[in-house]
A and B are shown apart, each in its own frame.
Chain A
């Protein structure tokens, strides 16, 4: 039988529904729904995908809101904006790619973020990343940034501050030095204040849910607020 032709969803196309089947898939338009394909999925620069994508290999250059599950590899190239989980044996995030979600390479390891994230951050790309520890209580388990219509994502988690944000993965760089790529996400992450030595009060708003680092000279008595 003839090999499946590669499928192209053109730039002005809008698909709402489920795309499934065999063969390669190239998306340059908008897709809302579900994508399940047995071949390679290429999400091009102009693409806006609000769907879970699954394929053997997923290459992302555009905006995706949804989980990416691949049997082989997920490659997030520069210019890509992804809000959603990544799950594949091999994951590559090229500098310039923006990801917000849970990244998992190994099938076994459960998603337990650990405090010693710094040690892990220096691993190379094909590593399992668990970023900052989840501050227990106040953060609802699977909260994802709501309503990120992929177009304006531009990687700025807008009302930042007190909104709990899934940690952005740090791949191949030391934890303390925030890379420009994920800088904005880190800044707005209230949990990051802990590792920054309590540079709190950056955001005028309710105090972060985390137990903040005690500043030098803090008295035992809490000041009464007016």
Chain B
């Protein structure tokens, strides 16, 4: 299926709901609900709660991340918010402030 790509110059203010995977290179403010993978690339900024499958962050996220799978905070990531996932990796260089709930 087609994936949703939010390009670098684009700002979405509102809700984005999708069944596919999402790649964010631009800005998203509001809510992001995906059933599949969510990738916030470097340069992407998400000021929203993210809910989805596997989430990979290399950009900036201000909001909670609720994942049904895994969350990867890569180098360059800046996450301010709580993370709820079953698996999580925080790479060297990632910045993170928030709670981690791994459903233990």
Contacts and interface: CB of A to CB of B under 8 A. Distances in A.
B2 to A, nearest CB: 4
12 contacts: A7-B5, A7-B6, A8-B5, A10-B18, A12-B20, A13-B16, A13-B19, A14-B15, A15-B17, A16-B15, A17-B15, A21-B26
A8 B7 CA distance: 8
B8 A13 contact: no
Which interface class (under 10, 10 to 19, 20 to 34, 35 or more) fits A?
20 to 34
B25 interface: yes
Interface of B: 1-20, 22, 25-27, 30
A15 B10 contact: no
A52 to B, nearest CB: 14
A19 B11 CA distance: 6
Chain A CB within 10 A, most for which of B9, B16, B18: B9
Chain B interface, DSSP helix/strand/loop, else mixed: strand
Interface in A1-38: 2, 4-25, 28-29, 33, 37-38
B8 A18 contact: no
A190 B4 CA distance: 44
Interface string A127-139: 0000000000000
A23 B10 contact: yes
B9 A22 contact: yes
